[in-house]
Structure 1
Amino acid sequence: MKVLIEVDYRIMTNVAFIITKPIVGGAQTWIKDQIRLLDGNINPIIITSEPGWLSESCPDVKSYFVKGINKRLSVKTIFDVKTILKCNKIQTVVASSANAGLYARLVKIFYKCRVVYVSHGWSCIYNGGRFKKLYINIEKILSYLSDVVLCVSKKDTENALKVIGIKSSKIVTIRNSVFIKDEKKKKENNTFKFLFLGRLTYPKRVDLLIDAFEKIKDVELVIVGDGPQRSKCSSENISFLGEIKSFNDFKNYDAFILLSDSEGLPMSALEAASSGLPLILSNVGGCSELISNNGILVENNIDEIIKAILHVRDNSSLYYKNALEMKDAFNIENDKELYRSLYI
C-alpha cells in the first residue's frame, strides 16, 4: 500500500473536486464533508455537469459547470476541464464517479497535476452488465494515470487489487466517515421507528423494504429520498417524506435500515451510525465494516429481513447501547491528517 508522508500544511493547495452529477447522494456528501474538513488547508473548487445540490450546499466555493462531463467521451470536454484547472492553478484533482474519473485522468495527459480517484464502490464491477470485463479493463488502464486510487472500504480495496488488478502502490484505503451527529432523543411513544435514507432507484431494494414492513404492523418505516421507485412507497405503517436536502434528523428515529444489491460504503448508514442508531444493512460491498454489535447484516430475502427487524426492535436497549459506544469510530475528524497528506 502507498505510504503517506509528512508535508508542510502551512502551504495552501489548490484542489478541484470533480463529480459527474451534483444531486443529493453519498459521493456528493463526501465532497461537501471534505471541503468542510480541510477548510484552511486547501483552496477548493467544484467541477460538475450542472447547478444542483452540491454547488448549492457549498455557496462559498467556486463551482464550474461542464455539461459534457455527464455524457460520452468528448475531446472538447477534456479541454474544457483543462482550461478550468489551468485558470485556477489547480495542483490536485479529486475525482468521484466514473465519468468524472475518466475526464480527470485523461486531462492529466495535457495538464500537470496530482490526480486522486475515489472509488465509492466500483461501478465497473457492480453495474457493468454485459460490458463488465470491458469496463474493468478500462478502469485498470486509467489507474496508470492516477497518482492515487482512494478506496473507501476494505472491500473496495480487495476488488481493486483482485478483480481490477490495480497496483498496490497506487492504492490508499481510508474508510468513509462523517461528522458526528446528535444522539437520538428519548422515545415519546411506543411506536418503534425505522429510517430509510437514500435514492429510490437501483441498486437500492425499496421493493424488499416495502414488502417486509407490510408484514409487520407494529413498527413504522419512514422513507426519505426520491427516485423512480417512489410510487411503491405507500402502506399503512410506511411514511414517505420525499427528498430532504441535507437531512440531519436521525435523532428522532430508533434504527436505520438500508437494503441494496450493491454498495461501496453508504454515507447514509455512516451518518445514522454516527448518531448512535442501530443498523440493519444488506450484506454487500463494505457494509460489513459498519456492523459489529450495533446492528445486523442481512441477505436480501424477506424472511431474514423481517427476522432482523423484529430482533432489533425487541432488543433495542442492547443495540442502542452498543451503537452509542461505536459512534466515535465513524468521526471524519479522526482521518483529517490522512486526507491532508493525500491532497497536499
Structure 2
Amino acid sequence: MNVGFIITKSEVGGAQAWVKNVSGFCENSRRFLISSEHGWLNSFFADERSLTLPSMGKLFFLRDLFRLKKFIRQHNIGLLVASSAHAGVMARLVKLLTPVQVYYVSHGWSFNYNGGLLRFAFRKIEQWLAALTDKIICISGADYQIAQETLKIEQDKLLLIPNKVFQPQASGLEPPLDRRPNSPNLLYLARLEAPKRPDLLNLLNHFSVQIDVIGQGSLATQILPASNIRLCGEVKNFGNFSAYDGLVLLSDSEGLPMSAIEAAACGLPLFLSDVGGCSELVRYQNGMVTPNDAMALQENFSYFLNKLPYFSKQAQHASKYFDLNADRDIWQTLFKNPA
C-alpha cells in the first residue's frame, strides 16, 4: 500500500524529523510527501512523489483539497499519515471525498496551547475530526491521557507509541565549538517559534555555563545579548550532540520534543520545561523538568548543574531506551495493515 505523509511545514523541526525517520519503515510501499511548502523534508522524498498545497492551514483551501484528492487517486495512496494540526484537518476532510485511511499523529494537542478563548470550540472540532480518523497515534503518555480524558476518543482508535529516534550522527555542518573552560557546555536545539520559550534563557545568562542555541525563527530576537549564550542559527541535520554536556529545552507545550529525544539517545542529560510529555523523558533519572516561572527555573537550573555528573552517568545508561529500531515491527505492521 502506498503511504502519503502530510504535514504543514517542510522546514527543520521535531515533527518533520519524525516523518523523516518513521517513513523509512514503508519498506515495501512507495511513500509520498504532502506539505504547504518545499523545504528541508522534501530532500528525503523524490520530487515526483511530493505535492505542495500552499493553502494548507489557511481559510480558503478548497481548491487544494481537490488537488489532494486527485493526487491520492493518481498515485493509489491508501493511507495518509498526518503530523500537524492543519494537515490533520485536510487529511480527514479529504477522506470525505475519496476512499483513504487516515492516521493522525499528535505531536502535542494544539488546542491546548493555541486555543485561547476558542479552546472549547477547537476541542469540539478535534472531537468531530476524530470520528473521521482510523487511528490516532500519541507519541507521549500526556497526549494519550488528553485524548482519553479530554477529547473522549474511542479506545479502539487510540495508540500510544512513544517517540524514539535513530541515533543522530554529526553532519559536518555544525558551527565550531566555542567551549567555556571549566564550565558545562549546553545545547538549546529547537525551531525558535511558539510554543518554544527561548526568552527564558535570559534568566540563565548569569550562570557559569556556555549555551549554544541551534535554530532559527521569529523568537530569536527575544534572546538578549549575553557572554554565555551563543546564537548559532539553523544547522540542517544537526547531530553533534557528543560535543555537549547536556540539553536545555524550554517551552510552553510539547508532545515529546524531538531534540530532547535525540539528545537522550546520545546519552545527554536533559533540562526541560515541565509540560506535555517532557517528564516521561527523564524517568530514568537522566535529567529533570522545571516549571517556567523565574524563581523555580533558576533554582532548578542551579540544582541541575550541581548534579550534572550524576545525571550524565544515568543518561549514558538510559540511551538505549530511545532507539527507534526497537519499534520497527510496530510501524511496519501499521503501514502494511491499516485499520
Fold conserved (TM > 0.5)? yes
Structure 1 counterpart of 2:176: none
Secondary structure in structure 1 of the residue aligned to 2:247: strand
Residue in structure 1 matching 2:331, options 302, 317, 339: 339
Letter in 2 for 1:17: F
Conserved? CA contact 1:194–1:253, under 8 Å:
yes
Q: Which moved more, 1:61-70 or 1:324-333?
A: 61-70
Secondary structure in structure 1 of the residue aligned to 2:120: helix
CA distance in 1, matches of 2:64, 2:112: 26
Letter in 2 for 1:320: S
Once the two structures are TM-superposed, the CA of residue 100 in structure 1 deviates from its matched residue by: 0.8
Conserved? CA contact 2:180–2:210, under 8 Å:
no
Q: Do structure 1's residue 246 and structure 2's residue 233 form an aligned pair?
A: no
Conserved? CA contact 1:180–1:328, under 8 Å:
no
How many residues align? The count is: 327
Conserved? CA contact 1:180–1:327, under 8 Å:
no
Conserved? CA contact 2:104–2:136, under 8 Å:
yes
Q: Which runs of 5+ in 2 are unaligned?
A: 171-178
CA distance in 1, matches of 2:60, 2:313: 50
**Structure 2 CA distance for partners of 1:136 and 1:73, relative to 1, 3 Å:** farther
Once the two structures are TM-superposed, the CA of residue 98 in structure 1 deviates from its matched residue by: 1.2
CA distance in 1, matches of 2:60, 2:162: 30
Post-superposition Cα deviations, 1:271-291, rounded to whole Å, max 9, x if no partner, equal 111110000011100001101
Post-superposition Cα deviations, 1:87-115, rounded to whole Å, max 9, x if no partner, equal 11011110111111111111111211211
CA distance in 1, matches of 2:129, 2:69: 17
**Structure 2 CA distance for partners of 1:58 and 1:310, relative to 1, 3 Å:** farther
CA distance in 2, matches of 1:240, 1:119: 30
CA distance in 2, matches of 1:240, 1:69: 31
Structure 1 counterpart of 2:316: 324
Once the two structures are TM-superposed, the CA of residue 73 in structure 1 deviates from its matched residue by: 5.0
TM-score normalised over the length of structure 2: 0.92
Residue in structure 1 matching 2:289, options 280, 293, 297: 297
Q: Which runs of 5+ in 1 are unaligned?
A: 1-12
TM-score normalised over the length of structure 1: 0.90
Q: Over aligned residues, Cα RMSD in angstroms? A: 1.9
Q: Do structure 1's residue 230 and structure 2's residue 220 form an aligned pair?
A: yes
Structure 2 counterpart of 1:163: 150
Structure 2 counterpart of 1:23: 11
Once the two structures are TM-superposed, the CA of residue 149 in structure 1 deviates from its matched residue by: 0.6
Residue in structure 1 matching 2:52, options 65, 86, 96: 65
Post-superposition Cα deviations, 1:31-60, rounded to whole Å, max 9, x if no partner, equal 001123x15233100011121111024457
Conserved? CA contact 1:122–1:156, under 8 Å:
yes
Identity %: 38
CA distance in 1, matches of 2:117, 2:76: 40
